[in-house]
C-alpha cells in the first residue's frame, strides 16, 4: 500500500473533512460548553477547533502540583481560552467511588482509574454540556503497549482496544454523565471521524519513537501551536494525580 507524500496528504484531507463534520453540531449549539482539558494534544486540538465558538471554557481535573495542572493552565493560556481548575482530593475520589460504583465495577484496575478520573471531572464540572478527547489513543496507537509490535499485531490490538472503548468504557462514561444530569460528547469517536482514521494504513499510525505521530503532525497541519502538538504527557489518571491518590488512600485503609 503506498505511503508516500500524496497518500499522507490524502488521509490528512480526509481527517480535515471528518473533524469538520464531527464538530458541526457543536458549532451550531448555543450556550456554555465545557471541554475536559488535560493540556495534551488530544484535548488541545478539540479546544483549537472550537476556540471561536462562544461559551467554551476549559476544565482541568488535577491535584495541587500535578503535571496536568501546569499543562492545563499553560495550554489554555496558549489557546487564549478561559480555564478553570477542578480540584482533586482523596475526599473527591471517595465520593465518586461510592456514587458511581455501578459504572466503575467489573473492569480492569487501569480502566477503572481512567473512568474514576472522568467521573470526578464530569461531576465537578459546572457545565452541563461537556466534551472530551477520548478515542485518539486507540485510533492513533498512543498507548505504550503498541510499541514494538508488528503491523499486524498493532492493528489487532488497536481494534480490540477500540471495541472495548466503544462497547464498554465510553457507554459507562456517558451513563456517569447522565446520572448527574449532563451530556458528554467525544468527537473523535463520531463514526465519520473514526472511519477516516481507520482508513489510514497502520504503518502510518505505528508509534515508533513518537507516540501518535500521525495525529500530532495532522494537528500541526490544522494550525495547533507547535508546543501543544508535540507536548508529551502522561495518561489522565497519572498526570492528574488520581492514581497516586487512589494508591495512597488504599495504603491508609489497610
Give the tens place of pLDDT for each residue, 117-136: 999 999 999 999 999 999 99
Domain containing residue 192: 5-247
Residue 180, domain member (yes or no): yes
pLDDT at 129: 98
Residue 125, domain member (yes or no): yes
pLDDT at 186: 98
Residue 217, domain member (yes or no): yes
pLDDT at 251: 57
Number of domains forming the structure of the chain: 1
DSSP string for 82-107: -EEEEE--HHHHHHHHHHTHHHHTTS
SS (H, E, C) 174-215: HHHHHHCCCEEECHHHCHHHHHHHHCCCHHHHCCCCCCCHHH
Residue 254, domain member (yes or no): no
Residue ranges of the chain whose pLDDT lies below 50: 1-2
Residue 139, domain member (yes or no): yes
pTM for the predicted model, two decimal places: 0.92
Residue 26, domain member (yes or no): yes
Residue 252, domain member (yes or no): no
pLDDT at 174: 98
Give the alpha-carbon dihedral of 24, 28, 34, 38, to 10 degrees: 20
Order the strands of the 129-131 sheet from edge to edge.
83-87, 56-62, 33-36, 129-131, 183-185
The domain that holds 213 is classified in CATH as 3.40.50.620
Residue 253, domain member (yes or no): no
C-alpha to C-alpha distance for 76 and 44, rounded to whole angstroms = 8
pLDDT at 245: 78
C-alpha to C-alpha distance for 77 and 82, rounded to whole angstroms = 8
Nearest Cα neighbor of 79 from 113, 50, 108, 107 is: 50
Nearest Cα neighbor of 83 from 74, 96, 95 is: 74
Amino acid at each position: 500500500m503506498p505511503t508516500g507524500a500524496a497518500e499522507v496528504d490524502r488521509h490528512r484531507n480526509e481527517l480535515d473533512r471528518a473533524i469538520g463534520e464531527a464538530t458541526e453540531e457543536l458549532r451550531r449549539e448555543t450556550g456554555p460548553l465545557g471541554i475536559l482539558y488535560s493540556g495534551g494534544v488530544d484535548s488541545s486540538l478539540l479546544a483549537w477547533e472550537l476556540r471561536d465558538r462562544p461559551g467554551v471554557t476549559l476544565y482541568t481535573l488535577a491535584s495541587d502540583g500535578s503535571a496536568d495542572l501546569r499543562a492545563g493552565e499553560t495550554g489554555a493560556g496558549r489557546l487564549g481560552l478561559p480555564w478553570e481548575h477542578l480540584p482533586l482530593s482523596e475526599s473527591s475520589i471517595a465520593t465518586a467511588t461510592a456514587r458511581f460504583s455501578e459504572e466503575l465495577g467489573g473492569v480492569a484496575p487501569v480502566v477503572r482509574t481512567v473512568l474514576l478520573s472522568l467521573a470526578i471531572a464530569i461531576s465537578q464540572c459546572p457545565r452541563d454540556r461537556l466534551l472530551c478527547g477520548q478515542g485518539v489513543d486507540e485510533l492513533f496507537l498512543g498507548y505504550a503497549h503498541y510499541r514494538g509490535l508488528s503491523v499486524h499485531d498493532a492493528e489487532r490490538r488497536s481494534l480490540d482496544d477500540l471495541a472495548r472503548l466503544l462497547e464498554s468504557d465510553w457507554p459507562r462514561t456517558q451513563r456517569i454523565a447522565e446520572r448527574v444530569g449532563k451530556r458528554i460528547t467525544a468527537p473523535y469517536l463520531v463514526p465519520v471521524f473514526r472511519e477516516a482514521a481507520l482508513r489510514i494504513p497502520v504503518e502510518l499510525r505505528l508509534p515508533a519513537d513518537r507516540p501518535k505521530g500521525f495525529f500530532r503532525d495532522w494537528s500541526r497541519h490544522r494550525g495547533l501551536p507547535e508546543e501543544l502538538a508535540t507536548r508529551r504527557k502522561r495518561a489522565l489518571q497519572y498526570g492528574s494525580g488520581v492514581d497516586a491518590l487512589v494508591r495512597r488512600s488504599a495504603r491508609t485503609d489497610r
